[in-house]
Amino acid sequence: MYQYDAIDQQIVDERVAQFRDQVGRRLRGEITENEFKPLRLQNGLYMQMHAYMLRVAIPYGLLSSEQVRKLAHIARTYDRGYGHFTTRQNIQYNWPRLVDVPDILAELASVQMHAIQTSGNCVRNTTADHLAGVARDEIEDPRPYCEIIRQWSTFHPEFAFLPRKFKIAVTGSRSDRAAVRVHDIGLRIVEQNGERGFEVLVGGGLGRTPRVTRKIREFLPREHLLSYIEAVLRVYNQHGRRDNKYKARIKILVDALGADGFREQVEAEWALIKDSALRLTDEEFERVRGHFAPPPYRTLPDSDGAVAAMSLGTDRGFGNWLKQNVKPHKVPGYSIVIVSCKPTGGAPGDVTADQLDGLANLAETHSFGKITVTHTQNAVLADVESSRLREVWQRLTELGLANPNIGTVTDMIACPGLDYCNLANARSIPVAQRISTTLDNADYLYDLGDLSLKISGCINACGHHHVGNIGILGIDKSGEEFYQLMLGGSAGEDASLGKIIGRAFPSDEIVEALEQVLALYIERRTSPEESFVAFYRRVGAAPFKERLYASA
């Protein structure tokens, strides 16, 4: 993984010292909250309902075991013993005291981490496929490109005050596990005539105006990565709306100009800078890629058959976990373990300090000391020898991180909702907890198959409800929590936005409504091979409306 050089370290250390001074002045009353707010937001520090919230950047979700231990230490020492994995592959702490934040940032800096650009109208953490480097369908590891984008975008003086926040995702695989089609810029690594480059997608996003990206370039040669996205940012920075924050994202500009109009402006801007110092040389690319060299894998026999055989053994718990939470690795003899942070009845994405320490230990003993946070609020041990899967499963079970539910309806994304968030209209976590408890039946979950459920507590859509096969959106109706059901969304390569199925349900009816939706699917699908989203696309909303509202 990328290691800071002296300049990186100096930048981060100096930012800690600067913020320590700013916090001191705020606490001594020398600056007002209005003056302090933009300073704290530039360091990832929000004010939420009960406390400050610190969002720590995890570039493309990748962590060393040392960093994971530091995150555990921070949770234990400065917070309430846990953190929360986010949909930008970051981690949030819900209870830091302002006076402690400079110390927390110093602790982070000691392991090459920070909270810079995790808030504010700037380029946020660039996300990637969480199976980067190990997926069988991968064309190329996207993380070196993410790191190059990270270095380019960090403290980029031209893009520190964009019209709104800006999110970039990169995938190097044919399957889209990084939701690139709902990002401001989505980059897909593709090949053309033996050359690697990018398909460039722009103008995706969720929130109150959800959009799937529009393609503006079939093939961008690798060397032009930075100049082209700089051109995109320049057009957005110049023409994006600043008069209305709800119309300030790039998707609104792309709507206004049309994909062709937007492309024309980008290409014109790009023509001015494509041969500038932004050109990515082979030497620079190889320098960064060198940080992502494969670990020293052992030469082992193929283990696909052995894993399949183990999954059919008499130990059903282990077998279920192998089927759901273990994925095939590109290197023979190795497997990818998805660590479920969705225990039955738990808060999706929450991890305790003890769990983080346990994960760090497991990473060191079983996965070359690395962990990846997923945008679906889980974690990945990417390089586990298949012959040692049982040991990993046993340890994860002890840690409460082995719920065999990856890809099922209880592997939910949920935002913090009204229990924590100042923007939320309704709670998300209690709904997620009730759903996971109600549907805690392995046979039923597996019969439902791959099915994504995503829950947001408000229209800002941090829980990605628009792109859940089933989405739940919390709303406030005259002071009471209600929940809208949306069906048919997808965040993958077949990205689509879900549609609201009808009137919202009160809190005490939403889980039953979900059960009705699932029951209809089970009853009427052509076969278990017809996925929920395929079924919805075939039959449309009508039968669901009839089932949900016929008696009303």
Instruction: Give the contact letters, 405-444, x = binds to another protein (CB under 8 A), - = no.
Output: -------------xxx------x-xx--x-----------
Segment interacting with another protein, rule: CB under 8 A, options 22-30, 105-113, 264-272, 380-388: 22-30
Q: Which of residues 330-349 bind another protein (CB under 8 A)?
A: 343, 346-347
Helical segments of 214-368, H only = 225-239, 250-273, 282-289, 304-311, 316-325, 353-366
Q: Which of residues 81-140 bind another protein (CB under 8 A)?
A: 82, 97-99
CB of 430 to another protein, least distance (A): 6
Please give the structure tokens belonging to residue 260. 């062709």
Instruction: Give the contact letters, 466-505, x = binds to another protein (CB under 8 A), - = no.
Output: ----------x--xxx------------------------
CB of 497 to another protein, least distance (A): 28
Please give the structure tokens belonging to residue 136. 């069988």
Partnered with residue 380 across adjacent β-strands are 338, 372
For another protein, the binding residue among 52, 219, 297, 368 (CB under 8 A) is: 52
Write the CB contacts of 167 (distance below 8 Å, at least 6 apart in sequence). 88, 123, 124, 127, 183, 184, 185, 205
CB of 352 to another protein, least distance (A): 5
**Is 523 buried (19+), middle (13-18) or exposed (0-12) by CB count in 10 A?**
exposed
- Sheet with 370-373, strands from edge to edge, namely 62-64, 370-373, 379-385, 334-339, 326-328
CB of 26 to another protein, least distance (A): 7
Cα angle value 34/36/39 (rounded, 5°)? 125
Q: What is the DSSP letter of 403?
A: -
Please give the structure tokens belonging to residue 20. 């320590």
Round to whole Å and give the CA distance between 343 and 485: 23
CB of 93 to another protein, least distance (A): 12
- How many residues bind another protein (CB under 8 A)? The answer is 35
Q: Which of residues 72-91 bind another protein (CB under 8 A)?
A: 82
For another protein, the binding residue among 9, 48, 344, 361 (CB under 8 A) is: 48
CB of 311 to another protein, least distance (A): 28
Say whether residue 350 binds another protein (CB under 8 A): yes
CB of 398 to another protein, least distance (A): 15
SS3 annotation, 459-505 = CCCCCCHHHCCEEEEEEEECCEEEEEEEECCECCCCCECCEECCCCE
CB of 354 to another protein, least distance (A): 10
Round to whole Å and give the CA distance between 222 and 216: 16
Say whether residue 55 binds another protein (CB under 8 A): no
Nearer to another protein, 53 or 148 (CB): 53
Nearer to another protein, 60 or 82 (CB): 82
Say whether residue 355 binds another protein (CB under 8 A): yes
Round to whole Å and give the CA distance between 56 and 199: 29
Return residues touching another protein (CB under 8 A): 26-29, 32-33, 47-52, 82, 97-99, 343, 346-347, 350-352, 355, 400, 418-420, 427, 429-430, 433, 476, 479-481
